[in-house]
Amino acid sequence: SIRLNQVGFYPHAPKVAVVVNPTGTEFVVKDARTKKVALKGELGKELENQFSGKKSRVADFSGLKKQGEFYIEIVGGAKSANFKINKRVHQEVAAAALKGFYYQRASTALPEQYAGKWARQAGHPDDRVAIHASAISSSRPEGSVMSAPQGWYDAGDYNKYIVNSGITMGTLLSLYEDYPEFCKGLDTNIPESANAVPDILDEILWNLRWMLQMQDPADGGVYHKLTNANFDGTIMPEAATKPRYVVEKSTAAALNFAAVTAQSYRVYSKFEKDFPGLADSCLAASKKAWKWAERNPDLFYVQEEMNKKFDPDVTTGAYGDGHVEDEWSWAATELYVSTGEDGFLKRANYADELRLPSWNQVSALSNYALLKSTSRHKSEAGKAIIQFADKLLKDVDRQPFQTVMGKSVWDFSWGSNSVAANQGIALLQAYKLTDDIKYAQAALGNLDYLLGRNATNYCFLTGFGTNPVMHPHHRPSAADGVVEPVPGLLSGGPNPGKQDKCTTYTSNSPDESFTDDYCSYASNEIAINWNAPMVYLVAALEAIFGK
């Protein structure tokens, strides 16, 4: 009944545990080794969960600043598992969450040296990809094939989607741009670790190389996705050998591509020696995709419509987005920040009212990007971020888990854990702008949520915590014969939609609509666009508090 960050706490940051259905009113924190009391305290006043009606009280032990291993005991009641108080308490979490992307690599074997017991054979060479009937053009006629290897598998499935790569890549590239020094020290033991480039940029490059191949050099358009016709069964990558297709080009894909490659130009131009010509290719590709989008502003991917016209039917993830104003703004902003060209500034709209980023809503990424510019819009873009952050902070002390995450029922959507992580990023942007530690502390509260201070009592990052997620909807984790799931992957999190119709859910409360079951693709899948904000959040917090 004691919910807390199951990994641990920083010496000089808030420390909160939540006791659900408390019996007593006092608590102690004890040293795990000596069993001596390190801190005594009183539980806070009773709070009621707006969803489940459950009663809880808060144990605030922020006063304990000693490093070590501890546990909490309610006087006359429950006891927690051990946790750490440590200066760099989330360092391993940060490295593992980034390493999660290595485990998602397509077209390569993962040798034991890097992958440990999750070593596996190569899957999906993707060097002879068929052109789906929807994607046939004069440059790529019927019967032709193209090569687009590498990239990350999107999620628990083995397909590769440009739109979802957009926000994922933007988030990881921004982490590097916002915290370059910290990123340089983030070692993930990948094949490229020995080179002079930070691991995070080597990892991002694995997906960037794939994305670049998804552009048709003939016209600059970008195929919406590279996919099987249907989802695979529960098999390892090397056993998944069904035909692969690129499907039709879309405006959303072109704009996501343009944004990512424009930002990549900025980032990789500092590594010209290591990757000669890469940055310039990215910028040229970005501008070409932008121009294609200008010529094709309304080619929206609607899978059902495509299936009516072309064979075979494609039933994998659609990532269809018919509202691309935000993608236009984001692409224009990245192009503007990278080139300083006025033409792009005109289209570089930022959100006056910030909206939380997700795969189909990227307007906030324009605001974030403008902070890296000298544009006249910079201060307005920043204002919107601070206003949004202030809204997030409101009434947090009245919440049962004392977190920004979960104030609103709308937080619990498909992939709700990425909502928690993206709220954290918005708060950290506000912290960067103001230097007011309250924003960073609230972001840390959302990390605490993800690592255990939540209504489910799960630590949502595989491989961590005393009650970790064990059965994510992730094909390699389910098919590899290893008991522990592939580590460093963020489970999607509570989702009252329960679209998977799994029978193992135990609650209808939105914040408890989660089941640690492979069947639950709606609450327990993993996905690159959820892992990326997790990496950002935990890495940035380590950079801020891990001293």
Residue 83 bridge partners (DSSP): 70
Question: Does residue 414 touch ligand 9MR according to CB under 6 A?
Answer: yes
Contact partners, residue 324, CB within 8 Å, separation at least 6: 251, 252, 255, 297, 300
- Per-residue x/- mask for ligand 9MR, residues 139 to 168, rule CB under 6 A? ---------------xx-x-----------
Residues in contact with 383: Cβ distance below 8 Å, sequence separation at least 6, in sequence order: none
Nearer to ligand 9MR among residue 56 and residue 358 (C-beta): 358
Taking CB under 6 A as the criterion, the residue among 8, 123, 237, 415 binding ligand 9MR is 415
Q: Kind of pairing, strands 68-74 and 26-31?
A: antiparallel
- Nearer to ligand 9MR by C-beta: 102 or 319? 319
Closest approach of ligand 9MR to the CB of residue 292, in Å: 24
**Applying CB under 6 A, does 424 fall inside the site for ligand 9MR?**
no
- For the record, the structure tokens of 513 come out as 């609509």
Indicate the residue among 5 and 491 with the shorter CB distance to ligand 9MR.
491
Within 8 A by CB and 6+ apart from 401, the residues are: 3, 18, 56, 449, 453, 454, 455
User: Which three-class secondary structure state does DSSP give residue 57?
Assistant: strand
Instruction: Give 280 or 305: the residue with its C-beta nearer to ligand 9MR.
Output: 305
CA distances 533 to 102, 411, 422, 445, Å, are 16, 15, 6, 15
Rounded to the nearest whole angstrom, what is the least distance from the CB of residue 320 to ligand 9MR in the complex? 8
Residue 110 vs residues 106, 180, 236, 341: alpha-carbon distances, Å: 10, 27, 12, 42
Pairing outcome for strands 16-20 and 55-60 = antiparallel
Residue 191 CB, shortest distance to ligand 9MR, in Å, is 26
Q: How far apart are CA 49 and CA 260, in angstroms?
A: 40
- Give the shortest CB-164-to-ligand 9MR separation in angstroms: 7
Q: How far is the CB of 509 from ligand 9MR (least distance, A)?
A: 20
* Cβ 104 to ligand 9MR shortest distance, Å: 12
Ranked by CB distance to ligand 9MR, the top (closest) residue is: 317
**C-alpha–C-alpha distance, residues 239 and 228, integer Å:** 13
Contact 299, 253 (CB under 8 A): no
CA distance 64 to 335: 47
Active site residues: 473, 516, 525
Instruction: Return the number of the residue (157 or 517) whose C-beta is nearest ligand 9MR.
Output: 157
Kindly tell me which of 235 and 318 has the beta carbon lying closer to ligand 9MR. Answer: 318
**Greatest Cα-to-Cα distance within the chain, rounded to the nearest angstrom:** 77
191, 205 Cβ separation under 8 angstroms:
no
**Pairing status of strand 26-31 against strand 245-246:** unpaired
The CA distance from 98 to 481, in Å, is 23
Q: Which residues within the stretch 517-536 sit at the binding site for ligand 9MR (CB under 6 A)? A: 521, 525, 527
Q: From residue 280 to residue 319, what is the string marking binding to ligand 9MR with x (rule CB under 6 A)?
A: -------------------------------------xxx
Cβ proximity to ligand 9MR, 27 vs 521, nearer residue: 521
Region of 525 (left: φ > 0; alpha: ψ -120 to 50; beta: rest) is: beta
Least distance to ligand 9MR, CB of residue 492, Å: 6
Q: Which is nearer to ligand 9MR, 360 or 402 (CB)?
A: 360
Q: Which of 418, 479, 425, 410 is nearest to 450 (CA)?
A: 418
Type of residue numbered 198: P
Q: Does 472 bind ligand 9MR (CB under 6 A)?
A: no
Please report which helix (H) or strand (E) contains residue 28, including its range. strand 26-31
Instruction: Output the CA torsion sign for 441, 174, 92, 462.
Output: positive
Retrieve residue 167's tokens.
């926000």
Site size with ligand 9MR, rule: CB under 6 A: 11
Provide the mask over 328-357, with x wherever binding to ligand 9MR is found by CB under 6 A and - wherever it is not: ------------------------------
Shortest Cβ distance from residue 491 to ligand 9MR (Å)?
11
Residue 253 beta carbon to ligand 9MR: minimum distance, rounded to whole angstroms: 14
Would you say 10 or 414 has its CB closer to ligand 9MR?
414
Task: Please report, for residues 191, 448, 456, 470, the alpha-carbon distance to residue 483 in angstroms, rounded to integers and kept in the order given.
Answer: 25, 26, 22, 8
Give the footprint of ligand 9MR on this chain (CB under 6 A): 154-155, 157, 317-319, 414-415, 521, 525, 527
